[in-house]
Amino acid sequence: MIRITLIGSGNVAQHLIKAFAKSELTEIVQVYSRKKETLSSLIEFDKITSDFEDLKEADLYIIAVSDKAISDVSKQLPFQNRIVVHTSGAASLDVLDSKNRKGVFYPLQTFSKNKDIDFSTVPMCLEAENTFDFRVLETAAKSISNVVYAINSDQRKALHVSAVFVNNFTNHLYQIGQEICEEHQVPFEILRPLIQETAEKINTLNPAEAQTGPAKRCDSLTIEAHLDYLSTQNQKNIYKILTQSIQNNGKKL
């Protein structure tokens, strides 16, 4: 049984609390939150503290806060030589204070408070300074996920940037598509099967093979017609950049 303390109350922290609570191999000793009521629906109230000095002994301390707060939080921890990890995709191992043994416990997924996640499918990217600490992280990760990787800081940065492209940027394009539909009184729901099929293709094809559309075909008449039809300069600029990128990629193949 690995005894875990979570520090944070945001999206990642809340999903980790739910995941660890379901595991028979881990025990949540305590959770730190500046506002106790934020987590009162997820865990017993007496396990929530808003004072670092009240933190109890645990096998693993997981800091799940914003990237800019990780360093400051790790400095405030009132103990030494324990395993302290963060959950960031972009921050390096070095942002953690050196008084404790450092590591990373990064779940590569998009988290929203109102959307439940099947944690068993979430890739867990782990990093530690020594083999013993890595095994502790690995055991904790495997207690909630079936997909666990050893990933160093540089590799994790590459994953995080890639994730911004395939998730955050893609979702923004969904938003633009919805705005265009609404502007012309077309139900956005009509596009949902297309969105689903596009995502499912990646299970059997690599992205270059799955690419279709006027940019891929170099269909200049359709491209120009689309640009004339779009109503904002922002939409036109994004359309041009992505069209050019697709066509440049085709030249490399």
Per residue of the chain (253 residues), what is the pLDDT tens digit? 899 999 998 889 999 999 999 999 999 999 999 887 788 888 888 899 999 999 999 999 999 999 999 999 999 999 999 999 999 999 999 999 999 999 999 999 988 877 888 999 999 999 999 999 999 999 999 999 999 999 999 999 999 999 999 999 999 999 999 999 999 999 999 999 999 999 999 999 999 999 999 999 999 999 999 999 999 999 999 999 999 999 998 665 4
What is the value of pTM for the model shown? Answer: 0.86
**Is 92 in contact with 74 (CB distance < 8 Å)?**
no
Strands of 101-107's sheet, edge to edge? 48-49, 26-32, 2-7, 60-63, 83-86, 101-107, 124-128, 148-150
Q: At CB < 8 A and 24+ separation, what contacts does 247-251 make? A: 247/215, 247/216, 247/218, 249/208, 249/211, 250/216, 250/218
Buried b / exposed e over 175-200, threshold 16 CB at 10 Å, is eeeeebeeeeeeeeeebeeeeeeeee
Structure confidence at residue 46 (pLDDT): 87
Structure-token match 């503290």, residue found: 49
For the chain, list the domains and their CATH numbers: 2-151 (3.40.50.720), 156-252 (1.10.1040.20)
Rounded CA separation 69/89 (Å): 14
d(CA 240, CA 249): 14
Predicted pLDDT at 43: 87
Residues in the chain: 253
CA 60, 64, 65, 68 torsion-angle sign = positive
Q: Is 140 exposed, middle or buried (CB count within 10 Å of its CB: 0-12, 13-18, 19+)?
A: buried
Query: Residue 123: what are its φ and ψ, rounded to 5°?
Result: -65, 130
Q: What is the pLDDT of residue 38?
A: 80
What is the pLDDT at residue 252? 54
pLDDT at 146: 96
